[in-house]
Structure formats: structure tokens, C-alpha cells
Structure 1
Amino acid sequence: MTVRRVVPNVQSESVEENREFYGLLGFEEVMNHGWIVTLASPSSPTAQISIMAGDKTAPVTPDMSVEVDDVDAAYAAVRASGAEIVHPLQDEEWGVRRFFVRDPDGRVVNVLGHR
């Protein structure tokens, strides 16, 4: 399994203000679903940050997202380890397959792959 990118997710009630702030640091908007905005560095597109008001389909807002090349293999490995699945593996309407898992320190990780 290969990790493609890791993105911190910042929960905020001020999504637009944060988009503008991180723009001052050189980030540009690459995705905007209203409830989540992802910003990336134009010179290094995998350097990203997401600002979230809340997650659209999950019970919690994840602390970070990890994109992998095989989300089904990641899900099987995490389940076999006994780690807590916070949000089950599912296909989302915006084109990703994902699940949430809690790490040993209690952070929620959104593990995803693009379909």
C-alpha cells in the first residue's frame, strides 16, 4: 500500500476567513464543497490543508486525511489490528471511498482513495 498524501483537517466556523488567511501563505483553493475547502501549494500540489465546518456524512470531523492507493487493503489492515472504526468504509458522492479510524492518541484519521 502506498500513501499518496497526508492533509491536516482544521475544524472551523470561519472557513472563508481561513481560506483567505492561508492564501496569504501562498495556498490556492483546489476543492470547495461548501462544508470543506482544500487549499494546496501551486509549486508542490500535495502540500495541502483542509478547512472544515464539519463532515457532511460522518459523525465527527477527522483530524487528518490520509490518501492511499488501496483503501480496501488499508481498511482490512486496520480492522485486523482491532483499531476503532469511527466511520465505516463507504463510497461518497464526491468521488472518494473512505473510512475513519481512531489512532492510539484518540485522533480521528480519514483514510481515503479516489474512485
Structure 2
Amino acid sequence: MSVRRVVPNLRTTGVPTTEGMRRSKEFYGRLGLQEVMNHGWIVTLASPSEPSVQLSLMGSDATAPVSPDMSVEVEDVDAVHAAMKKSGAEIVYPLSDEEWGVRRFFVRDPDGRVVNVLEHR
């Protein structure tokens, strides 16, 4: 199993969520990060010189009942899902094909953090 990238998912605050997103995008923009993806409910920022250096800002997840703390992109999400289930790890959101082109599931780590494990399709 191969990990392609790990991205922290930072929940924005502020009412409405769009205001929190705007403030956070401006703050991290001053650090040199630029928007590379925007689905409205999640925005990913990256370093222009090192595109794999990323962080995501989100209000609440569009399809899942909980927002993940981080995302881990893997080469084979089905194999990772099977390994997590076999280990007895808590699957928080089932293996799903999402309309924006990813196959993913959420799993809870031993310290209670929710990890979005995904593969781009």
C-alpha cells in the first residue's frame, strides 16, 4: 500500500461558514499558499513551488455525517479499507464513490481523530 499525500483538514469558524473560509484563505494566503481546489464546502490550498504541500479548509463535509481531521490519499483505497476492517478499526463513513471523482471512507484513529482515506478515480 502506498500513500500519495497527507493533507490536514482545518475546520473554519465564523457565521456564515463562507466568512470563515474567506478569513482562513486570506490568512494562509499571506503564508504563500494558493487555492488549487474549491468545492464550496472544502477549499484546498497549496504551495506554488511545492504542490504536494497542502492544507484544506472546510466547514462541514458535503456527504458524510462528520468532518474529517485529515485526508490521506492512497494508491489502493479498497486494499486499505479491507486492512482497516480486518484490524477492527472503526469505520466512520462507508467506502463510497463521490460525485467529485474520489472513492473514500473515513476511519477513526486510536486517539479519536477521523481520517478521510481516499483514491482519485
Q: TM-score, normalised by structure 1?
A: 0.98
1:104 aligns with 2:110: yes
Distance 1:86 1:107 in 2: 10
Matched residue, 1:8: 8
Aligned counterparts, 1:1-115, within 5 A: 1-13=1-13, 14-115=20-121
Distance 1:34 1:95 in 2: 16
Unaligned runs of 5+ in 2: 14-19
The Cα of 1:76 is off from its aligned counterpart by 0.4
Give, as a single letter, the amino acid of the residue that structure 1 aligns with 2:25.
Answer: R
Stretches (4+) displaced over 4 A: none
The Cα of 1:16 is off from its aligned counterpart by 1.2
Distance 2:104 2:36 in 1: 19
Q: State the percentage of identical aligned residues.
A: 72
CA deviations 1:34-58 (Å, max 9, x no partner) are 0000000111111100000100000
Matched residue, 2:17: none
Distance 1:50 1:44 in 2: 15
Q: Which moved more, 1:11-20 or 1:72-81?
A: 11-20
Unaligned runs of 5+ in 1: none
SS in structure 2 of the partner of residue 56 of structure 1: coil
Q: TM-score, normalised by structure 2?
A: 0.94
CA root-mean-square deviation: 0.5
Give, as a single letter, the amino acid of the residue that structure 2 aligns with 1:72.
Answer: D
Q: How many residues align?
A: 115
